[in-house]
Amino acid sequence: MNALVPLPVLLPLCVTGLKLAIGPRLHRLQRFISIAVLGAVLVLSVLLMVAADRHGPLSVHLGDFAPPVGITLVADRLAGLMLTVSSAVTLLVLVYSLGQGMADRDDQAPVGVFHPAYLILVAGVSCTFLAGDLVNLYVGFEIMLVASFVLLTIGGTATRVRAGSTYVIISLFSSVLFLVAIAMTYAVAGTVNLAQLAQRLQEVPLGVRTLLEAMLLTVFAIKAAVFPLAAWLPDSYPTAPAPVTAVFAGLLTKVGVYSMLRTQTLLFPGHRLGDLLMLAALASMVVGILGAVAQTDLKRVLSFTLISHIGYMVFGIALAGHGSISGAIVYVADHITVQTTLFLVAGLIERRDGTTELTRLGGLARAAPLLAVLFFVPAMNLAGIPPLSGFIGKLGLMRAGIDAGGAWAWALVAGSAATSLLTLYVMAKVWNLAFWRDAPPGAEEEGVVLESAEDDEPGDDEEGDEAGDEEEGAATGPPEPTGSGRAAGSGKAAGSGEPTGAGSDLPVPAGAVVAAGFLGQSITTTRRLPWPMLAATGAAVALGLSYTVLGGPLTTFTQAAATELLARTPYIEAVLGR
């Protein structure tokens, strides 16, 4: 079974080379390979999770080089659960993206871009969860960074490039800080292997150990978007295409949380920075949810709630008790699924009505009841309404805070309760504006072109002024009357082989897809949503509900994972063999 540990990392990487060789050709084969690979990664993740639960942590030294020389991968209960949840989510988001037609853009680029970048992202996430040393953890982060920059800027629009550049600058800064922390750790301990560090760091002077802990926490707090290091997130995520935003919001911040959880329990037990973490957790919860209250765009609302609910996870890590660690693990698994689902629903709303601006939406409960259900269930889960799994995680954290006692613990309990109520208020606000009330005057009609190219070809200036500067997430004005609409951007009219230009009067049928510049396509609103998008979102909702149905076994599993993390011995013995 140990031989299976590297496969969730190696399989996507190996297939990426094959897909690059295929290039933009054979679209159906591209899709089949992607779905088959992610399905195989999901099966492998489940097998590793079950094996780790039954037999203890599994480890493998690549190349059969023992620590501290070789690369070590470890799958324990925590890593197995994170792998399983992330694999399920990435598979669903891939199906959603195929329904949206993102992969169809590959025929406009020299090589197929989306599929390889997505698989590399999955490999990076898996590498991070399985990393048994700090260098391999760093490599996992960098793999994700390379892939995520490609996915954030897909389409090549100026807004996405600006947002992607901000994301990369912040990520590179954290990467440099991470490298410095790794170098300092090796200098004082002579190893970067986590199991060996768990033993050797206890002999390091307290001041040096505290400095290393602070540096690693800063790196992971940036990755996890913990306040006050979260200002980059609300401007970076909402500009990306819906499936990219969904997988980023669901997974990439949780990789930072996972790294905090792993290092704090394994390397720094009884850490001195617990009070600082509690302050960061409280500030993240309160500032994030207040930011969400002030927003009127659904994507930005969800981005701020993401920051807010990261605070719950840091809350559990800061208390560092058995109950709090177990509650944090439950909440991480639940939040990956719920936050991803909500961003997928936001993408469906944008596809249907041309905007996620709440003041321009309305009447969706009557016009699209299925869409209303797909939003309502994860929204109530995020708010922590019993008996949903979000309530299970929050209840475990609050109980741990009450048991711990102390001023900071009680402040966190009060802050988490207030944040939960404000989250319910925010979700009710979204429901009232977008679903419950009647559609406002001037609402977008079917056939509005989204995500047009910003830089039109020469001669398209007049048309570019009308539709060429639009971004996904910012709808155009009302469409021209039927029969007089024009294809936006510098591509071709849907269903025709003729280019559109300043003098073109070719109509754009509702629901058509129009080329719009390098690697990008316009998206037009349609009342008939693609069934793969609906099916993937529905499956994500069902996955979130399964945590409620399986709440007992899930809680038992996370309690065992918390015991294993706090004991540290099973992990160390699995790696070092003693």
Q: What is the pTM of this model?
A: 0.84
- Phi–psi pair at 513, nearest 5 degrees: -115, 130
Cis peptide bond upstream of 387, omega within 30: yes
The answer on pLDDT for 493 being more than 60 is no
Distance (Å, rounded) from C-alpha 229 to C-alpha 232?
8
Q: Which helix (H) or strand (E) holds 61?
A: strand 58-62
Looking at per-residue pLDDT, the higher value among 308 and 106 belongs to: 308
| b/e 196-207 (16+ beta carbons within 10 angstroms → b) | bbbebbeebeee
Percent of the chain with pLDDT over 90: 44
Q: How many CB atoms lie within 10 A of CB 341?
A: 31
CA distance 284 to 317: 14
Rounded mean pLDDT of the chain?
80
Q: What is the pLDDT of residues 539-565, one digit of tens each?
A: 999 999 999 998 889 999 999 999 999
Query: Can you give the pLDDT at residue 460?
Result: 41
Question: pLDDT tens digits, residue range 197-248?
Answer: 998 988 888 889 999 999 999 999 998 989 888 888 887 777 777 888 888 8
- What pLDDT sits at residue 496? 37
Higher-confidence residue of 241 and 470: namely 241
CA–CA separation, 508 and 497 (whole Å): 13
Beta-sheet pairing, 449-450 with 513-515: unpaired
Q: What is the structure's pLDDT at 468?
A: 36
> For residue range 500-543, what is the model confidence (pLDDT) as tens digits?
333 333 444 444 443 333 234 455 566 777 788 899 999 999 99
- Residue 215 C-beta-side C-alpha neighbours within 13 Å: 19
Please compute, for residue 107, the number of CA atoms within 13 A of its CA located in the half-sphere on the CB side: 10
Identify the residue with better confidence: 286 or 157. Answer: 286
